């Protein structure tokens, strides 16, 4: 099917992704870079993005779920790979056999990964996650001693090797937030405590995209970049992608399915939340919330059609929404660009985030499997 014949497509600019990886490596020249490709590469396609990031020098790839990491191995990824969101009974043995670095936040996880390593006859690579103040996953400060002692014992028994000590920021996208320095201090304490106990991690890491961009002292041995690698600013307060030397990777566009003239007073879409103010032209954009377009974009989301910004008229439905073109004309088959880099005048993912009360992370990540990815 030709691209224009496609109902909708997410064009993924892998050259832009590679350039973003190079730009981020230049921000942290003494650290390795982990390309974060969880959630299908923030909607961009994990396998293709991981491959492109490695071509641009990412020494590591990271995912949340072990299943995501195993899928990368099944697709042929052979480099250093880490995953961090485990639940009891997870696929530890498969991960150990696939040489995946497994994050361990507590004793139960250490016991499960050790048992998997014994069963596989291998030494598991584990990375100890410390909760330095995010209050989410990670070992709480009062529990370090026991976890680190148990990890040392497991190293002596040959079941695990602690390859990393790591953590995650809560407020790195708010430069100057007092929690940033507080988390760094706790992280340094945890690392030095573990090292005093004889742990020799290859990598110590805490920086996500905003910290990579704004806080060199947080770079340690490795930075884990997600959103910035996809060319999106972690937060508008840090500047636009162009200000940060980044280029958005995804362009989401659709093909108009119908264009029609209607009289004034014509109700549009479910609930008639929009009624045409006079005789006008309505264009049908055949994408909806099943494709990942936020329903909160009803009456708010921007779209470029015929060189002009329009706004979604009425409600976003499951498969489609309507745009009022006023006095302008269009043809079925014309392109509607929902978001992209912005240099053809189209809205950006940040514009959609602003219009729908969310963050650009969510705008790109929620684009569903229904939308074909076209790699260029």
205 is a site residue for ligand PLP (CB under 6 A): no
CA-closest candidate to residue 200, choices 208, 192, 211: 192
Q: How far is the CB of 210 from ligand PLP (least distance, A)?
A: 6
Long-range contacts of 37-41 (CB under 8 A, 24+ apart): 37/61, 37/62, 37/63, 37/68, 37/72, 37/226, 38/62, 38/63, 38/64, 38/65, 38/68, 38/226, 39/64, 39/68, 39/365, 40/365, 41/230
Q: How far is the CB of 85 from ligand PLP (least distance, A)?
A: 8
Rg (the chain; Cα; Å): 24
Task: Please pick, from the candidates 21, 35, 56, 84, the single residue that binds ligand PLP as defined by CB under 6 A.
Answer: 84
Pairing label, strands 60-63, 32-36: parallel
227 is a site residue for ligand PLP (CB under 6 A): yes
Catalytic-residue membership of 274: no
Q: Is 129 helix (H, G, I), strand (E, B) or coil?
A: strand
Task: Please pick, from the candidates 66, 231, 234, 340, the single residue that binds ligand PLP as defined by CB under 6 A.
Answer: 234
Q: What is the DSSP string of 49-87?
A: HHHHHHHTT--EEEESSHHHHHHHHHTT--SEEEE----
Contact set for ligand PLP, span 138-177 (CB under 6 A): 168
276 is a site residue for ligand PLP (CB under 6 A): no
Contact set for ligand PLP, span 22-61 (CB under 6 A): 36
Binding pattern for the stretch 326-365 against ligand PLP, x by CB under 6 A and - elsewhere: ----------------------------------------
Catalytic-residue membership of 270: yes
Q: How far is the CB of 84 from ligand PLP (least distance, A)?
A: 6
| Beta carbon nearer to ligand PLP, 328 or 362 | 362
226 is a site residue for ligand PLP (CB under 6 A): yes
| Beta carbon nearer to ligand PLP, 36 or 100 | 36
Q: How far is the CB of 238 from ligand PLP (least distance, A)?
A: 11
Q: Cβ distance 336 to 4 under 8 Å?
A: no
Residue matched to tokens 């293709």: 48
Task: Please pick, from the candidates 93, 224, 247, 315, the single residue that binds ligand PLP as defined by CB under 6 A.
Answer: 224
Q: How far apart are CA 125 and CA 66, in angstroms?
A: 13
Q: How far is the CB of 320 from ligand PLP (least distance, A)?
A: 31
130 is a site residue for ligand PLP (CB under 6 A): no
Q: How far is the CB of 28 from ligand PLP (least distance, A)?
A: 12
Q: Cβ distance 53 to 42 under 8 Å?
A: no
225 is a site residue for ligand PLP (CB under 6 A): yes
| Beta carbon nearer to ligand PLP, 136 or 146 | 136
Give the CA distances from residue 186 to residues 165, 218, 348, in Å, rounded to whole numbers and listed in that order. Answer: 12, 12, 37
Residues binding ligand PLP (CB under 6 A): 36, 84, 168, 208-209, 224-228, 234
Residues with catalytic roles:
38, 270
């Amino acid at each position: 099917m030709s691209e224009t014949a496609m109902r909708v497509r997410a064009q993924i600019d892998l050259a832009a992704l590679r350039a973003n990886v190079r730009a981020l490596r230049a921000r942290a020249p003494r650290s390795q870079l982990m390309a974060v490709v969880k959630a299908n590469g923030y909607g961009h396609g994990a396998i293709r993005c991981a491959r492109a990031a490695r071509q641009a020098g990412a020494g590591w790839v990271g995912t949340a779920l072990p299943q995501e990491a195993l899928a990368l191995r099944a697709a042929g990824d052979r480099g250093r790979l880490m995953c961090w969101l485990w639940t009891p009974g997870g696929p530890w043995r498969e991960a150990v056999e696939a040489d995946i670095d497994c994050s361990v936040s507590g004793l139960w996880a250490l016991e499960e990964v050790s048992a998997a390593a014994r069963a596989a006859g291998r030494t598991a690579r584990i990375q100890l996650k410390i909760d330095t103040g995010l209050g989410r996953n990670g070992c709480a400060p009062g529990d370090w001693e026991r976890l680190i002692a148990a990890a040392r014992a497991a190293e002596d028994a040959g079941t695990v090797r602690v390859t990393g000590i790591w953590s995650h920021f809560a407020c790195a996208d708010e430069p100057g937030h007092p929690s940033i320095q507080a988390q760094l201090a706790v992280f340094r304490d945890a690392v030095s405590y573990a090292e005093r106990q004889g742990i020799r991690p290859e990598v110590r890491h805490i920086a996500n995209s905003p910290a990579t961009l704004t806080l060199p002292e947080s770079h340690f041995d490795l930075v884990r970049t997600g959103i910035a690698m996809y060319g999106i600013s972690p937060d508008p307060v840090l500047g636009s992608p162009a200000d940060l030397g980044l280029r958005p990777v995804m362009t989401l566009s659709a093909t108009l399915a119908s264009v029609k003239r209607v009289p004034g007073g014509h109700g549009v879409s479910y609930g008639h939340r929009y009624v045409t103010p006079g005789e006008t032209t309505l264009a049908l954009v055949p994408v909806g919330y099943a494709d990942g377009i936020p329903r909160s974009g009803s009456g708010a989301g921007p779209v470029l059609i015929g060189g002009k910004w329009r706004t979604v008229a009425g409600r976003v439905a499951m498969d489609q929404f309507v745009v009022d073109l006023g006095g302008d004309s269009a043809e079925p088959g014309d392109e509607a660009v929902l978001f992209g880099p912005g240099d053809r005048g189209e809205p950006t993912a940040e514009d959609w985030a602003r219009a729908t009360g969310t963050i650009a992370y969510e705008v790109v990540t929620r684009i569903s499997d229904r939308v074909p990815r076209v790699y260029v």
